[in-house]
């Protein structure tokens, strides 16, 4: 689960990490009041969307003005004017894709006098099963680009969970960022606080880009991006409250209600498959025959007809879907359950696109019989290859 920058900063603040003062606002009228509570004279108006690259982003609508999603205001009036321009408009960044994201919240933050910008992130390194730090003197910019063109400028290390964080980790970060004296001390203290927050909140990733030094010699987290491990969310009701459903894909929200493993994609062939491996193979073969999947969907092993119906509905309501491929290998899952679920869903929402069904395994004959007697316009397929070719042909 992802959260907004202002929410991430509130968590970091709770753990004692240095972040600037700021206030989230939902309406442009609130912007001036928020700015008045800040020291000034520079205010930063920041679009709150679940995507990075806001500073270099561009708004789609002219009314949103010519600047990006992070703007420096030199007066309270200017902060309010920026808020008016940005709210309700669609911001496109390298991370949002072409469609962009509507800006519904802003964060009005105290402007910092930046001396240097650094990069610091923490994540779970699956290879070592440890929390890893990634730090670089090249902050504020695209870290992927730094990793690509100047990999020597990125320092990574991981923390042994048996010892936990040790003072040498803090010194390592300070060295990597070429900080000395009091700033090195501040870096050590910051690393301790970030590590404590990361562990306590079951984070999956914490990215501070940029981490800055100010002209008056202070270290500060100027941006914060946090995501949490979904499997640990049950331990954190306080985090669940931070979820912003308007940032999430509606189809994915619906799927999560039925405990379906569903991920929305850009293509136009809807897939309903059981088993993650088979789902991946199905997506691969669709691509092999020249089309693109509209989703990843694993209905799971013991799905009920109700769950299958829900899954099929999620696929059919997607306007991008021009054809549907059902590919089921019945093991624990029975083919007749799939057939019944599909028929139920079509009764409820109709079927306006070609449907190719490939069934194999437990109760396959019964499943095929149910489908063929249903009067549905189903294109039956014998195997995975046949199924993929038929659905690609049916939509082209
Ligand atoms: P994003 O990563 O989405 O572009 P950031 O929060 O990193 O958004 O902001 C982009 C840039 O804007 C930063 O690298 C920094 O130079 C500047 N900036 C952000 N917040 C502030 C602030 N409070 N004071 C001064 N400059 C800021
Ligand atoms: Mg940033």
Task: Clarify whether residues 292 and 366 are in a common domain.
Answer: yes
Query: What is the average pLDDT value for the chain, to the nearest integer?
Result: 94
Q: Is 199's pLDDT higher than 90? A: yes
Task: Clarify whether residues 106 and 120 are in a common domain.
Answer: no
Residue range of the domain that includes 368: 250-395
How far, in Å, CA of 77 to CA of 343, rounded? 59
**CATH number, position 158:** 3.30.470.20
To the nearest whole percent, how much of the chain has pLDDT over 90? 78
Ligand 1 pocket test, candidate residues 222, 224, 225, most atoms within 8 A of CB: 222
* pLDDT value for 333: 83
Question: 261 among the known binding-site residues?
Answer: no
- Averaged pLDDT, 237-259: 89
Task: Clarify whether residues 235 and 256 are in a common domain.
Answer: no
- Averaged pLDDT, 351-377: 92
**Residue at which a domain ends, from 239, 258, 282:** 239
**Residue at which a domain ends, from 110, 131, 148:** 110
Task: Clarify whether residues 106 and 118 are in a common domain.
Answer: no
Active site residue 80: no
Task: Clarify whether residues 167 and 300 are in a common domain.
Answer: no
Q: Is 112 in the pocket of ligand 1 (CB under 6 A)?
A: yes
Q: Rounded to whole angstroms, what are the CA distances from 47 to 5, 59, 83, 101?
A: 9, 11, 9, 10
* pLDDT value for 366: 94
pTM value is 0.82
- CA 149 to chain CA centroid, Å, is 26
Q: Is 331's pLDDT higher than 80? A: yes
Task: Clarify whether residues 383 and 258 are in a common domain.
Answer: yes
Least confident of 69-83, 108-122, 192-206, 345-359: 345-359
Ligand 1 atom closest to the Cα of residue 222 is 20
Least confident of 31-45, 243-257, 265-279: 243-257
Q: Is 45 in the pocket of ligand 1 (CB under 6 A)?
A: no
* pLDDT value for 301: 75
Top pLDDT among 259 and 358 is at: 358
Nearest to 301 by CA among 339, 273, 341, 262: 273
Task: Clarify whether residues 183 and 287 are in a common domain.
Answer: no
Q: Is 148's pLDDT higher than 80? A: yes
**CATH number, position 55:** 3.30.1490.20
- Pairing relationship of beta strands 101-102 and 106-110 according to DSSP bridges: unpaired
Q: What would the pLDDT profile of 290-325 be if each residue is shown by its tens digit?
A: 999 999 999 887 778 888 889 999 999 889 999 999
**CATH number, position 279:** 3.40.50.261
Domain assignment present for residue 2? The answer is: no
Tokens of residue 96, six digits: 């949002």
Q: Tell how far the Cα of 375 is from the centroid of ligand 1, in angstroms.
A: 59
Question: 332 among the known binding-site residues?
Answer: yes
- Averaged pLDDT, 313-342: 90
Domain assignment present for residue 3? The answer is: no
- Domain count of the fold of the chain: 3
CB 256, CB 268: distance < 8 Å: no
For residue 253, name the pLDDT band (cuts at 50, 70, 90).
Answer: confident
Largest CA distance in the chain: 80
Top pLDDT among 254 and 181 is at: 181
How far, in Å, CA of 226 to CA of 233, rounded? 14
Task: Clarify whether residues 83 and 95 are in a common domain.
Answer: yes
Q: What would the pLDDT profile of 5-33 be if each residue is shown by its tens digit?
A: 999 999 999 999 999 999 999 999 999 99
- Averaged pLDDT, 124-137: 95
Task: Clarify whether residues 102 and 168 are in a common domain.
Answer: no
**Residue at which a domain ends, from 110, 136, 157:** 110
Task: Clarify whether residues 91 and 143 are in a common domain.
Answer: no
* pLDDT value for 140: 86
Q: Rounded to whole angstroms, what are the CA distances from 102 to 45, 96, 392?
A: 15, 10, 33
Q: E-assigned strands of 76-218?
A: 90-92, 101-102, 106-110, 114-125, 130-136, 154-159, 203-214
């Amino acid at each position: 689960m992802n959260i907004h920058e202002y929410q991430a900063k509130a968590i970091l603040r709770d753990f004692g990490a240095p972040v600037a003062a700021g206030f989230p606002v939902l309406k442009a009228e609130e912007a001036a009041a928020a700015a008045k509570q800040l020291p000034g004279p520079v205010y930063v108006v920041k679009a709150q969307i679940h995507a990075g690259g806001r500073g270099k982003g561009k708004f789609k609508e002219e009314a949103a003005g010519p600047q990006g999603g992070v703007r420096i205001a030199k007066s309270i009036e200017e902060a309010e004017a920026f808020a008016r321009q940005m709210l309700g408009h669609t911001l496109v960044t390298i991370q949002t894709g072409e469609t962009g994201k509507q800006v519904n919240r802003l964060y009005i933050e105290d402007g910092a006098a930046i001396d240097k910008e650094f990069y610091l992130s923490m994540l779970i390194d699956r290879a070592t099963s440890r929390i890893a730090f990634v730090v670089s003197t090249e902050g504020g910019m695209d870290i992927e680009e730094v990793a690509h063109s100047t990999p020597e400028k990125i320092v990574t290390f991981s923390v042994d969970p048996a010892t936990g964080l040790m003072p040498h980790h803090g010194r390592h970060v300070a060295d990597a960022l070429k900080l000395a004296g009091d700033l090195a001390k501040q870096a050590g203290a910051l690393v301790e606080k970030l590590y404590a927050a990361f562990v306590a909140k079951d984070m999956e990733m914490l990215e501070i880009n940029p981490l800055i030094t100010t002209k008056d010699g202070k270290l500060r987290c100027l941006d914060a991006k946090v995501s949490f491990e979904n499997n640990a969310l049950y331990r954190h009701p306080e985090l669940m409250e931070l979820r912003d459903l308007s940032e999430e894909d509606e189809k994915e929200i619906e799927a999560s209600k039925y405990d379906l493993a569903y991920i929305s994609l850009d293509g136009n062939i809807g897939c309903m498959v059981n088993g993650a491996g088979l789902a991946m193979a199905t997506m691969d073969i669709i691509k092999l025959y020249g089309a693109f999947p509209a989703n990843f969907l694993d209905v799971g092993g013991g799905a009920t007809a109700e769950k299958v119906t829900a899954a099929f509905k999620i696929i059919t309501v997607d306007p991008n879907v021009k054809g549907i491929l059902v590919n089921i290998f019945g093991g624990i899952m029975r083919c007749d359950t799939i057939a019944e679920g599909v028929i139920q869903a079509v009764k409820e929402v109709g079927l306006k696109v070609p449907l190719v069904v490939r069934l194999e395994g437990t109760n396959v004959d019964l499943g095929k019989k149910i489908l063929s007697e249903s009067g549905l316009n189903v294109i039956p397929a014998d195997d995975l290859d046949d199924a993929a070719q038929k659905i690609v042909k049916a939509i082209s």
